[in-house]
Amino acid sequence: MRSALTVAGGVLGLLLGPWLAATTVRLARRDDTARPSRRRVAVTAVVAAAAVGAAPALTGDRPAAVALAWFGLAAVVLAGV
């Protein structure tokens, strides 16, 4: 079960990556129309997938995985700003 959650977390991180990249660029530039570069989107998606995928791998099938994934995504946004 742990590997299925890790894969699901990785896919979720890849899906959230473009949105997180846009959020970081908009926060950093203080401009609602700012767009991230393709490179930034790719890097953010991979880092988000690693952060969310690592949560169930570290904690197992427990509610702590959600908290750790949330913390990882917040770290991705703060590092991008």
3-state SS, the chain, equals CHHHHHHHHHHHHHHHHHHHHHHHHHHHHCCCCCCCCHHHHHHHHHHHHHHHHHHHHHHCCCCHHHHHHHHHHHHHHHHHC
Tens digit of pLDDT at every position of the chain (81 positions): 668 889 999 999 999 999 999 999 999 999 999 999 999 999 999 999 999 999 999 998 888 999 999 999 999 999 988
Total domains, the chain = 1
What domain range is 7 assigned to? 2-80
